């Protein structure tokens, strides 16, 4: 993390009443303290901004205190990884034996940080793989919902016509214009227990099925009415 100027120097501090009697060493301590305070503020801002960037990609709602602590650790690790990668890039421009050793050490530290980040993401359940799985689950749930709605719509629109003699379901039909004088004639060919064929003939008018959905409501399951 680049250090920034404090805005303080010994001359300017000497002009402040609370510091006018301090010697050089004491002024150095005051400047160092101010620098540390500013570094902490800068670091906290970096963490806050990184967490905000996470919010754009992941659902971070309904987090408990341990989740928030893990999220902060994840932000710190991500910031540290950025700085390490910048250091590695800078060191690679140099050519020396010592430099190769430094790059190897930085590389190992970078690898450790990536492992820590991956573990924290898994702990928080916000890895991209998990998010993709959630999205696939959501799509599957949406498809199942559409199927259910289609089935419900089908059952509400269809009319069920039964043989009024043996109760055999002879037809399911969807009248586009049920309030017209539509008449459907059907013959039942069900084989009865004695081996004979029912051969019952029925005629049904679509108007008579409006609001009921069947010519024999007493045998139609209630869930289908």
pTM of the model as a whole? 0.42
Residues 85, 184, single domain; the answer is: no
**Residue 137 counted as domain residue:** no
**Residue 143 counted as domain residue:** no
Residues 108, 178, single domain; the answer is: no
Residues 128, 164, single domain; the answer is: no
Predicted local confidence at residue 2, as pLDDT? 41
Residues 101, 188, single domain; the answer is: no
**Residue 5 counted as domain residue:** no
For the chain, the domain total comes to: 2
Residues 94, 162, single domain; the answer is: no
How far apart CA 224 and CA 216 sit, in angstroms, is 12
DSSP E strand boundaries for 47-200: 159-162, 169-173, 183-187
Predicted local confidence at residue 189, as pLDDT? 93
Predicted local confidence at residue 130, as pLDDT? 54
Residues 84, 163, single domain; the answer is: no
Predicted local confidence at residue 3, as pLDDT? 41
CA Rg value for the chain: 39
Q: State which residues form the domain around 199.
A: 158-224
Residues 18, 105, single domain; the answer is: yes
Q: Within a 10 A sphere around the Cβ of 24, how many other Cβ atoms?
A: 7
**Residue 139 counted as domain residue:** no
Q: Within a 10 A sphere around the Cβ of 12, how many other Cβ atoms?
A: 10
Predicted local confidence at residue 58, as pLDDT? 74
Residues 26, 124, single domain; the answer is: yes
Predicted local confidence at residue 1, as pLDDT? 40
**Residue 3 counted as domain residue:** no
Residues 22, 125, single domain; the answer is: yes
pLDDT in tens, the chain (225 residues): 444 444 555 566 556 565 566 666 765 666 666 665 666 777 788 888 888 888 777 777 777 888 888 888 888 888 888 888 877 777 777 666 666 777 777 788 888 888 888 888 888 887 554 555 566 667 777 778 877 777 776 666 788 999 999 999 999 888 888 888 899 999 999 999 899 999 999 999 999 988 888 899 888 765 455
How far apart CA 75 and CA 92 sit, in angstroms, is 26
**Residue 1 counted as domain residue:** no
Residues 79, 165, single domain; the answer is: no
Strand-pairing partners, residue 204, are: 184
Longest dimension (CA), the chain: 121
* Contact partners, residue 121, CB within 8 Å, separation at least 6: 74, 127
Residues 39, 128, single domain; the answer is: yes
Given a contact cutoff of 8 angstroms between Cβ atoms, the answer to whether 27 and 10 are in contact is yes
Residues 84, 50, single domain; the answer is: yes
């Amino acid at each position: 993390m680049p250090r920034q100027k404090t805005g303080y120097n010994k001359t300017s501090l000497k002009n402040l009443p609370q510091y006018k009697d301090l010697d050089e060493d004491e002024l150095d301590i005051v400047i160092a303290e101010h620098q540390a305070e500013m570094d902490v503020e800068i670091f906290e801002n970096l963490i806050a901004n990184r967490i905000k960037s996470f919010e754009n990609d992941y659902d971070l709602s309904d987090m408990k205190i341990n989740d928030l602590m893990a999220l902060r650790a994840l932000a710190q690790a991500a910031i540290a990884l950025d700085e390490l990668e910048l250091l590695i890039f800078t060191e690679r421009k140099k050519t020396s034996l010592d430099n190769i050793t430094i790059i190897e050490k930085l590389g190992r530290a970078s690898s450790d940080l990536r492992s820590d980040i991956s573990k924290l993401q898994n702990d928080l359940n916000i890895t991209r793989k998990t998010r993709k799985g959630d999205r696939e689950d959501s799509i599957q749930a949406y498809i199942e919902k559409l199927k259910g709605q289609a089935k419900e719509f089908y059952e509400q629109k269809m009319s069920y016509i039964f043989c009024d003699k043996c109760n055999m379901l002879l037809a399911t039909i969807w009248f586009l214009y049920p309030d017209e004088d539509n008449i459907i004639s059907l013959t039942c060919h069900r084989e009865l227990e004695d081996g004979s064929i029912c051969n019952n003939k029925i005629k049904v008018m679509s108007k008579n099925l409006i609001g009921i959905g069947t010519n024999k409501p007493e045998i139609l399951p209630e869930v289908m009415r």
